[in-house]
Structure 1
Amino acid sequence: MRTVVVVVLFGLGAFAVATGLVLQLHTHPFLAKLQHNIDNVSISEGEGVTAIVYPPGKLPELRHGLRLTATTHVEGDLAAPEVEPGGDITVWKRATLVKEEADDLVLSAEVRKICLDRRTGEAVAPCHGEFYETEQGKRMLPTGDELLHPGLNFVFPFDTERRDYSWYDTVLKAPASIQFDGEQLLQGLDVYRFVHTIPPTEIGKFEVPGEMVGLAEPSVDVTQYYGVTRTLLVEPTTGAVLSVREDIKQELRTATQAEGEGTYAFDGELRLTEASVTANVDEVKKNRPFLFVITTLPVILWIFGAVLVAGALVLLLRHRSGFLAAGLALVIGAALAGGITVGVTNASDPDSSLDLKNVVSSTNVDYGLR
């Protein structure tokens, strides 16, 4: 009877420890990847914003107290050659349209296509068809194997750390350091807060009507400066960005004006709406059972298995019989755990349900939203 107990304890212990190891070493890296078929729309809003607007058939004009809506659509490009089942690279397109609500005027628009490392979330190169566009028909393209959008762009890495990262800024067209700024609760989720502040930085020189900047001359040469304080709330296990707040300032200065003495071409805050934040949080909560399996369950199994094996080992050494049966139980338990867990993991691969051979590259992202 004691031998049976020892064999059962060894077998169950080995099964638990081996399952935990496979979940950590195989399942986590196999399944913790950005999805190819993302299709997400989010909305940011701003109140009391100062901005330049572009009425049809008229000169641009500066308006105050505007209500703005920025709609962003992120969509996976399943037709991209880099997209493969089980592959480490995915390709996402993102279109953002900023509109003034009262007269339904478009203030700005941008479209981007980027190849991303599915685990780190960082842009990678070379990337077929990568581009960045703010004026229709005028696309910014990479040269050779250069990174057009270096750093993080949409998400943080899986298992985000409490440290600084490099976040790409589309206005600067360059990455900037974004600092870990603490932890907080967001609708019941523990999240990391990341903040970066880009000081006023020169981004261009051009002519504007003198009346736009409060001068009598027909046209005036100005330098445009851009600065932003950007705050992101990130779910650390998945790296998903759940909330975004941006305090943006763009100032037009003449040659004789110092910081703050010019005319603000944009001055206001855009914040992801509560509905968009809630949708992001709900998506993470929906995946909690999956996250538990690949993060917390392995630790529980290791502890549980170690206790069983330790107990079996005490019984085995005390009675000094059943060594061969105990050894077989260890081997069989570990083998069963490995085979079952690997099989279930491979069958759970979300890429296996995608038809990547019969897709047509979407054009829905180009300056319009579904």
Structure 2
Amino acid sequence: MRSALTYISLGLGVFAVALGLVLRLYTYPQLAKMPLDLDSLSVATGTADRALVFVANGPDEHVPEFRDNLPITSTTKVTADPTAPEMEEGGDVAAYIEATKIVATDNPDIGPLSASVRQLCVDRHTGEAVAPCETQFTETDHTGDKEEDRVEEERDRVQQPGFGFKLPFDTEKTTYPWYDLRIKDTVDLTFQREDTVKDLDVYQFAYHIEPQRIGSREVPGSLLDEPDTPSIEADLYYEADRTMWIDPVTGAVIALEQSVTQKLVRDDEDYEDGTIVFDGTLALDDETVTKNVADAEESGGKLWLLTTLPIILWVVGGVLIAVAVVLLLRSREPRPEAGNHRLE
């Protein structure tokens, strides 16, 4: 009886440990991947305390003017590009297109405040940009002046390095390189604290961008208090703060808040004296956050089986193997001879 119990415990223990290894080392990497059919829409709302806008003045003309306390809406759509050569069923790379537009809320007479489109390839396991990538590019339309800027790079160079959509699965409390499209470079996205969003446990991350030049603009002199000058070329500066609430299981962005300031600074001016052309805040709306929480809970529930369950199996398997070893050792202990119990 003891011998049978020994081998049953040993067999179950080995099976539990092996199953845990399969779930964690094989099944988990197969499921913890960004999808090849991604199609998501995020909406953020807020207010521009001050913004340079272009107001329709006839069918083909827009007149620049400043608006204060302007309600704004930002929409971001991310879709997979099934035509990209990097997209292979079961592969480790995905090609995504991200289109973002910021407009004056419920005010169609005002042209878009800004717009951008970009495409890049990402590692489906980590979410980090990778190369080679045939289809990568960025295209921006700055603050309504229709000065388009499209940049395409060679396929073997990562044009938009770092993370730009999400953080890795099993996000750690550390600092990650996050790509900011306006400065076309990475910034340090740093862990701040643990938090909750709609009862979902999340990590709060944040970054700050000091004022820096991102280009130049030619604008009417009247916008820079020089009405007698037809046009003036000035440097465009950008400053930003962004806070993200990340689901640590999936690495997905659950909620986001950001504040952005842009100024036009002439050669004879300091940054502090520049003319503000945008100063506003945006945050993902409640509908978007609610959907993000629901998606994270669904995905996190599946991944829990592949992260926490293996640990349980390893513990249970280890205990069963230990019990089997103890039983085996006891079965090999010599039994006392009957003669040792006779009375003299």
Q: Specify the SS of the correspondent of 1:157.
A: coil
Q: Specify the SS of the correspondent of 2:62.
A: coil
Q: Specify the SS of the correspondent of 2:272.
A: coil
- Count the aligned residue pairs: 321
Looking at structure 2, the residues matched to 74 and 310 of structure 1 have their Cα atoms a distance apart, in angstroms, of 51
Counterparts of 1:95-106 in structure 2 under 5 Å? 95-104=99-108, 105=110, 106=112
2:267 to 245, 252, 255: 255
Looking at structure 2, the residues matched to 133 and 118 of structure 1 have their Cα atoms a distance apart, in angstroms, of 24
Aligned to 1:217: 228
Looking at structure 1, the residues matched to 6 and 180 of structure 2 have their Cα atoms a distance apart, in angstroms, of 61
Aligned to 2:341: none
Counterparts of 1:229-268 in structure 2 under 5 Å? 229-268=241-280
Looking at structure 1, the residues matched to 243 and 70 of structure 2 have their Cα atoms a distance apart, in angstroms, of 22
Aligned to 1:177: 188
After superposing the two structures, state which structure 1 stretch, 252-261 or 14-23, moved more: 252-261
> Residue 7 of structure 1: CA displacement?
2.1
Q: Deviations over 1:311-358 (max 9, x none)?
A: 12211211139xxxxxxxxxxxxxxxxxxxxxxxxxxxxxxxxxxxxx
Counterparts of 1:316-335 in structure 2 under 5 Å? 316-320=328-332
> Residue 193 of structure 1: CA displacement?
1.3
Matched, 1:286 2:298: yes
Aligned to 2:88: 84
Looking at structure 2, the residues matched to 278 and 127 of structure 1 have their Cα atoms a distance apart, in angstroms, of 33
> Residue 165 of structure 1: CA displacement?
1.1
Matched, 1:306 2:324: no
Aligned to 2:336: none
Q: Specify the SS of the correspondent of 1:54.
A: strand
> Residue 247 of structure 1: CA displacement?
0.7
Aligned to 1:70: 74
RMSD: 1.7
Q: What TM-score results when the alignment is normalised by the length of structure 1?
A: 0.83
Matched, 1:131 2:137: yes
Is the CA contact 2:3–2:331 (under 8 Å) kept in the aligned structure 1? no
Matched, 1:7 2:7: yes
After superposing the two structures, state which structure 1 stretch, 254-263 or 35-44, moved more: 254-263
Aligned to 2:115: 109
Change over 3 Å in CA distance of 1:34–1:313 after alignment to 2:
same
AA aligned opposite 2:85: P
Change over 3 Å in CA distance of 1:292–1:80 after alignment to 2:
same
Looking at structure 1, the residues matched to 52 and 311 of structure 2 have their Cα atoms a distance apart, in angstroms, of 55
Q: Deviations over 1:228-252 (max 9, x none)?
A: 0011111112111111111100011
- Gaps of at least 5 residues in structure 1 are 322-370
Change over 3 Å in CA distance of 1:289–1:103 after alignment to 2:
closer
> Residue 288 of structure 1: CA displacement?
3.0
AA aligned opposite 1:178: L
AA aligned opposite 2:251: G
Looking at structure 2, the residues matched to 254 and 50 of structure 1 have their Cα atoms a distance apart, in angstroms, of 19
Looking at structure 2, the residues matched to 73 and 213 of structure 1 have their Cα atoms a distance apart, in angstroms, of 35
Q: Specify the SS of the correspondent of 2:305.
A: helix
Q: Specify the SS of the correspondent of 2:165.
A: coil
Is the CA contact 2:134–2:154 (under 8 Å) kept in the aligned structure 1? no
Q: What TM-score results when the alignment is normalised by the length of structure 2?
A: 0.89
Is the CA contact 2:250–2:299 (under 8 Å) kept in the aligned structure 1? no
Q: Specify the SS of the correspondent of 1:55.
A: strand
Is the CA contact 2:264–2:277 (under 8 Å) kept in the aligned structure 1? yes
RCO higher in structure (CA 8 A, sep ≥6): 1
Looking at structure 1, the residues matched to 234 and 116 of structure 2 have their Cα atoms a distance apart, in angstroms, of 23
Q: Specify the SS of the correspondent of 1:288.
A: helix
Aligned to 1:37: 37
After superposing the two structures, state which structure 1 stretch, 253-262 or 109-118, moved more: 253-262
Looking at structure 1, the residues matched to 115 and 263 of structure 2 have their Cα atoms a distance apart, in angstroms, of 19
Q: Decide which structure has greater strand share.
A: 2
Aligned to 1:360: none
> Residue 70 of structure 1: CA displacement?
0.4
Q: Specify the SS of the correspondent of 2:55.
A: coil
> Residue 215 of structure 1: CA displacement?
2.7
Aligned to 1:228: 240
Is the CA contact 1:49–1:68 (under 8 Å) kept in the aligned structure 2? no
Looking at structure 1, the residues matched to 277 and 290 of structure 2 have their Cα atoms a distance apart, in angstroms, of 32
Is the CA contact 2:28–2:303 (under 8 Å) kept in the aligned structure 1? no
Is the CA contact 1:243–1:272 (under 8 Å) kept in the aligned structure 2? yes
State the percentage of identical aligned residues: 41
Q: Specify the SS of the correspondent of 1:87.
A: coil
Looking at structure 2, the residues matched to 28 and 58 of structure 1 have their Cα atoms a distance apart, in angstroms, of 54
Looking at structure 2, the residues matched to 236 and 268 of structure 1 have their Cα atoms a distance apart, in angstroms, of 29
Aligned to 2:212: 201
Is the CA contact 1:233–1:241 (under 8 Å) kept in the aligned structure 2? yes
> Residue 144 of structure 1: CA displacement?
4.7
AA aligned opposite 2:150: R
